[in-house]
Structure 1
């Protein structure tokens, strides 16, 4: 596989994976928010108004998410044909469980959730909504277990270039799977909270707010704050798990150009990758010991002063894209900080206005809509650092993407990438247009055969 073909294959794969993760996170977050609203609706009519509106957004995200996941399944075979030969015993069952869970829960409960509200009792419909949320969580869990295993393989043994599962419990619940699922869930809830603020600001510009809008406005402000804090804590814990066992990611994140004692991380820097140095940098505090590799059994206890890290100069050919790995980590932190300040302001403003969105000025509405773009930027930067920082490995430290790829025609790859960009652009535009239609017309009652709305 040539360098150009390798880059094009990775671009296709990560583009599809990124779209799937976005809509999976949005679907997961909305599923649990809808469950909470449905529980509250049994005693508050305002929550039922909010549920009836946002369940339509969930159905839209579900359809678009399903469409974005299909190309990714095809790419596992077309772009990486040797993947199943090397790790089929791990990848096959997890992908099958994700597909099976999605179809079972959606076929059994989704229809009742979307169309059975008027025919089921309140308790039965609440149970159905809860089962849909559980199904979305299980689907996401299997996929996160697979991505976590590729980042830090546990519960398996490689013999004769083939992975075999030795401990299902360690594979499913060990390694970094809990942290990665937590990041996906909190990221989805963060996106949902920001989307709710943006949608409420837009809806109440043209029409008076109802009780459902006020309920959403109140809940989304504190939910956004809580999810930012939780996601930052989970990202820190994931860094403690991955950086000590991924020296290339650690070196690119600092950046550590030459082998030696750990350098102080650069808060901001301009990297000269060909020269193997930084043109200028603003240094931050020293990295805590918990983020550094552990001591060897024969050596003295590891400390920051006596630790020796392998530099990027010794990792040519097995190091990730330095600029992307370095910049994405800083952008994720920067966007998170700005979003946190904006969430604090939104919470203070909402309390001051008595959680009444009609009182928002045009400038304040624009600020609330900005929170959605910031939440999206946080997710893009964070997942970019996580996925790109593990390159060139498909399974960290063991199997590279080149080893599971095959010779591809560059022209064909360019053509497929162009088609993929057009399709995903059409899906994103369609999602935005249908979201705008829902914002404009809201929930339109449908007459029943008995003559009641």
Structure 2
């Protein structure tokens, strides 16, 4: 596989994966928002108005997210044909459970949720909405377990270039809980910003009602809570992944030579070709220690000790020299970090990994400050959307895009920071990639950008139509809404 073909294959896969993760996160966040609204609607009228509007948005998100997930299954076989041969015993059951959950558990109750509100009792319909939220969460969980295992392969043994599961409980643990938490908190953040933006915009052409006020209050507090939750969970995920991924740690610091931990920089200008930092604004020592500790705990947890001796000779391609995966933490020790200059050929894109970590922190701070601003404006105006000025509505619109950019940067840091590995420390993407014509890859990549762009634009247009004209009742002639 040539370098151009490798980059194009990776671009195709990450485009599809990123598009699917966005709608999966939004679907996950909205499902739990709808459950809360449905529970409150049993005693209040305003949450029921909000529920009837947002359940249509959820259905639209679910349809596009489901459609976006299908190409990934084909890309897994066409772009990375040897992946299932290497890790099929792990990936096969997880993907099968995700499909089974999506088709059976969640979809069985989706129809009753969308069309059975008047046919079911209040309690029964609330239970159905809860089951849809649980089904959505389980579908996301199986996908995240696979992504987390690729980042931190535990619970399986690499024997003769094939992974075999030895402990499913350990495999379902690892980095999966914090990574799922990041997806859930990101979905809640996207749902909250969308709630604030759409509510502020739809009151341009129609008077606000009690449901709008409920959404504004709930969305504002949900936004602030989601920001705090995502900060905590992202810190937990970083605490788990950075010690077992020395290349990512060195790029985040950044550190070029193996040795004692250097002070992390707040911002720096890197000379990647020369293997040095030209200029840096250093941060506190406490942050450097947090990024690299505890190494002993990582070794004790068996991060790479499940791998057989064959896994130690991780293959990066012809002529590449790679240290054993399980030797990295032990060699570096608790107070040392492997340098980027000693990881040439097995390190991620340094500039992107370094900059994305800083940009994610900056965007998180911006979203948090904008959330506080939204709370202040809301209380000042009594959460009456009719009282919002044009700049306030514009601010809510901008908040959606900032939150979306934050999720994109965070997930790209997680995915790109683990390159060139497919299964970190053992299997590289070049090993499992297919030999394809570059012209075909360019063509498919271009078509993929056009199709995903059209889907994204269509989603935005449908949101605008729903926002402007409201919700069209379902089965009006039968008296159902």
Question: TM class by shorter-chain length?
Answer: over 0.9
Distance 1:187 1:115 in 2: 28
Shift of the alpha carbon at 1:354?
1.5
Residue 118 of structure 1 aligns to a residue whose secondary structure is coil
Q: Which residue of 1 aligns with 2:407?
A: 379
Q: Which residue of 1 aligns with 2:379?
A: 351
Distance 1:451 1:111 in 2: 17
Q: Which residue of 1 aligns with 2:100?
A: 100
Q: Which residue of 1 aligns with 2:441?
A: 413
Q: Which residue of 2 aligns with 1:393?
A: 421
Distance 2:15 2:265 in 1: 29
2:381 matched to 1:324? no
Contact 2:106/2:131 (8 A) holds in 1: no
Shift of the alpha carbon at 1:107?
3.0
Residue 279 of structure 1 aligns to a residue whose secondary structure is strand
1:12-91 → structure 2 map (5 Å cutoff): 12-91=12-91
Distance 2:336 2:35 in 1: 50
Contact 1:339/1:374 (8 A) holds in 2: yes
Q: Specify whether residues 259 and 120 from structure 1 end up closer, same or farther in structure 2 by C-alpha distance, changes over 3 A only.
A: same
Distance 1:85 1:447 in 2: 49
Q: Specify whether residues 45 and 353 from structure 1 end up closer, same or farther in structure 2 by C-alpha distance, changes over 3 A only.
A: same
Deviations 1:334-360 (CA, angstroms, capped at 9, x unpaired) = 000011011011112211222211111
Q: Which residue of 1 aligns with 2:113?
A: 113
Q: Which residue of 1 aligns with 2:162?
A: 162
Q: Which residue of 2 aligns with 1:262?
A: 261
2:440 matched to 1:441? no
Contact 2:340/2:347 (8 A) holds in 1: yes
Distance 1:7 1:422 in 2: 18
1:185-204 → structure 2 map (5 Å cutoff): 185-204=184-203
Q: Specify whether residues 165 and 446 from structure 1 end up closer, same or farther in structure 2 by C-alpha distance, changes over 3 A only.
A: closer
Q: Specify whether residues 281 and 451 from structure 1 end up closer, same or farther in structure 2 by C-alpha distance, changes over 3 A only.
A: closer
1:4-19 → structure 2 map (5 Å cutoff): 4-19=4-19
Q: Specify whether residues 2 and 198 from structure 1 end up closer, same or farther in structure 2 by C-alpha distance, changes over 3 A only.
A: same
Contact 1:261/1:306 (8 A) holds in 2: no
Contact 2:261/2:288 (8 A) holds in 1: no
Residue 204 of structure 2 aligns to a residue whose secondary structure is helix
Q: Matched residue pairs, number?
A: 447
Q: Which residue of 2 aligns with 1:252?
A: 251
Contact 1:329/1:382 (8 A) holds in 2: yes
Q: Which residue of 2 aligns with 1:335?
A: 363
Q: Which residue of 2 aligns with 1:426?
A: 454
Distance 2:334 2:64 in 1: 52
Distance 1:273 1:379 in 2: 26
Distance 2:110 2:13 in 1: 29
Q: Specify whether residues 418 and 45 from structure 1 end up closer, same or farther in structure 2 by C-alpha distance, changes over 3 A only.
A: same
Distance 1:99 1:238 in 2: 26
Q: Specify whether residues 345 and 141 from structure 1 end up closer, same or farther in structure 2 by C-alpha distance, changes over 3 A only.
A: same
Shift of the alpha carbon at 1:288?
4.5
Distance 1:261 1:409 in 2: 45
Distance 2:338 2:478 in 1: 74
2:393 matched to 1:365? yes
Q: Which residue of 1 aligns with 2:335?
A: 307
TM-score normalised per structure 2 = 0.90
Contact 2:195/2:215 (8 A) holds in 1: yes
Q: Specify whether residues 417 and 39 from structure 1 end up closer, same or farther in structure 2 by C-alpha distance, changes over 3 A only.
A: same
Distance 1:365 1:63 in 2: 28
Q: Specify whether residues 130 and 452 from structure 1 end up closer, same or farther in structure 2 by C-alpha distance, changes over 3 A only.
A: closer
2:285 matched to 1:272? no
**Runs (5+) with no aligned partner, structure 2:** 301-329
2:204 matched to 1:176? no
Greater displacement, 405-414 / 86-95? 405-414
Distance 1:367 1:421 in 2: 28
Greater displacement, 282-291 / 3-12? 282-291
Shift of the alpha carbon at 1:291?
2.7
Residue 419 of structure 2 aligns to a residue whose secondary structure is coil
1:223-238 → structure 2 map (5 Å cutoff): 223-238=222-237
Q: Which residue of 2 aligns with 1:151?
A: 151
Q: Which residue of 1 aligns with 2:310?
A: none
Q: Which residue of 2 aligns with 1:212?
A: 211
TM-score normalised per structure 1 = 0.96
